[in-house]
Structure 1
Amino acid sequence: MIGRLTGTVVEKQAPDVVIDVNGVGYEVQMPLTCFYELPELNQQALIYTHFVVREDAQLLYGFISKQERSLFRMLIKANGVGPKLALTILSGMTAAEFVTCVERDDIATLVKLPGVGKKTAERLLVEMRDKLKTLMDAAGAAGEFQLQSNFTPAPVVNTAEEDAIAALLALGYKPAQASRAVSAVISPEMDSETLIKAALKSML
């Protein structure tokens, strides 16, 4: 089991990152809410990981905090939710926002995420309610789920629109949905991070 990685960020292409640990590059998939908390390239990062072994692949999922990783682990134990869908959920909203959805029985927001139908959303609300209470009690307060960003946006580049669409496609959105969402919110001064966040928010 690989529980965490401390190393140098050598590649970043949302939602994937490569962390170099003593010469070994670990490919890690992260929710976008965590991905944009990473430092710049060639800087040190510590991420908490969840290791998944399948017949055809070995996959690492990464998180900024232990609480986010615990929430991911709870999600993949819910009926009808696998790692890919859990990653999509935690990319479309922060951990704190997901907690709020569960507390408020907010099905309407959950079903706007790709891959989350009404039945899946209903199951999530039922199955996660007690589990989240336990997690929040252990964390001390729900406020610990709120990500505190120290990310400094990179300079605006011409590929911001392409990067945003690619990130949405990786999360399961259809090409037409991704293009529409990006086109609806894009402005010249936006970098990739801002554009992706705005596009995701516009679909919720």
Structure 2
Amino acid sequence: MIVFLDGVLEEKGPTRVVVNVNGVGYEAAIPLSSYDRLPAAGARVKLLTVPVVREDAHLLFGFMTEDERTMFGLLTSINGIGPRLGLAVLSGLAVRDLKAAVANGDVKRLSGISGIGRKTAERIVLEMRDKLGKGDLMEAVTGGKAPGPNEAKLRDTLLALISLGHKQAEAQHMVRDIAGSVTPDMPLEEILRKVLSGRK
């Protein structure tokens, strides 16, 4: 399996590249997010790849970062999303923005991507929440800032509420309502009971 190409960038375009590896030219389809990171034609490039073998074609999809390649794999594991649609999603949203859209349940933003209808956007949110780790969701919700002990408890509560199906704005409002009564040593289960029961 071809996992990366390391060679000279012979051709580049918004949707495809050709990389010369020891005299052999490899064509790969790429998302716009990778195109923005490509060096000038003629320069050396290392392109991370995902091969897709079909009866009628052997296709190669390329990415400039591991985050893009990982997200592509997660997207294409969702029923109804093939490689081309996976590239379309990554072309429409940066990886961090995609994670944020999933964490926030932002179906409208996802369905604004060419080729993604409302039902597909809803499926992406539902399935990607399960596939993304807690750390990815926290990064998306918090912007990657390291929280203090008490803030960490509140953010764990926020993530738990989002995983239960609450939208981020609603979950943030619920957490704010009980924030003053939360202590660093309070169990998450107790905090969630406070939030869901409305008691402070």
Q: Normalising by structure 1, what TM-score?
A: 0.66
Relative contact order, higher structure (CA 8 A, sep 6+): 1
Q: Which residue of 2 aligns with 1:93?
A: 93
Q: Which residue of 1 aligns with 2:149?
A: none
Distance in 2, matches of 1:31 and 1:100, equals: 19
Deviation at 1:64, TM superposition (A): 1.2
Q: Which residue of 1 aligns with 2:114?
A: 114
Secondary structure of the residue aligned to 2:112 is: coil
Q: Which residue of 2 aligns with 1:59?
A: 59
- Root mean square deviation, CA, Å: 2.2
Q: Which residue of 2 aligns with 1:13?
A: 13
Deviation at 1:135, TM superposition (A): 7.5
Distance in 1, matches of 2:29 and 2:52, equals: 11
* Percent of paired sites with the same residue: 42
Q: Which residue of 1 aligns with 2:25?
A: 25
Equivalenced residue count is 143
Find out whether 1:126 has 2:119 as its counterpart: no
Is the CA contact (8 Å cut-off) linking 1:67 and 1:135 kept in structure 2? Answer: no
Query: Radius of gyration: which is bigger?
Result: 2
Distance in 2, matches of 1:134 and 1:23, equals: 44
Gaps of 5+ in 1: 147-204
Secondary structure of the residue aligned to 1:80 is: coil
Q: Which residue of 2 aligns with 1:83?
A: 83
Secondary structure of the residue aligned to 1:2 is: coil
Distance in 2, matches of 1:81 and 1:54, equals: 16
Q: How does 1:142-161 map to 2 (within 5 A)?
A: none
Deviation at 1:123, TM superposition (A): 0.7
Gaps of 5+ in 2: 145-200
User: Structure 1 pair 58/34, CA: closer, same or farther in 2 (3 Å)?
Assistant: same
User: Structure 1 pair 80/135, CA: closer, same or farther in 2 (3 Å)?
Assistant: farther
Instruction: Give the partner amino acid of 1:2.
Output: I
Q: Which residue of 2 aligns with 1:49?
A: 49
Secondary structure of the residue aligned to 2:128 is: helix
Instruction: Give the partner amino acid of 1:122.
Output: E
Distance in 2, matches of 1:136 and 1:114, equals: 25
Deviation at 1:80, TM superposition (A): 1.1
Is the CA contact (8 Å cut-off) linking 2:100 and 2:140 kept in structure 1? Answer: no
Deviation at 1:136, TM superposition (A): 3.0
Kindly provide the CA deviation profile for residues 84-124 of structure 1, in whole angstroms up to 9, marking residues without a partner as x: 10000100111111001001000001111111111111111
User: Structure 1 pair 135/70, CA: closer, same or farther in 2 (3 Å)?
Assistant: farther
Kindly provide the CA deviation profile for residues 102-151 of structure 1, in whole angstroms up to 9, marking residues without a partner as x: 010000011111111111111110100121126738xx9569xx9xxxxx
Is the CA contact (8 Å cut-off) linking 1:107 and 1:122 kept in structure 2? Answer: yes
Distance in 1, matches of 2:129 and 2:75, equals: 11
Q: Which residue of 2 aligns with 1:2?
A: 2
Instruction: Give the partner amino acid of 1:65.
Output: T
Distance in 1, matches of 2:129 and 2:60, equals: 26
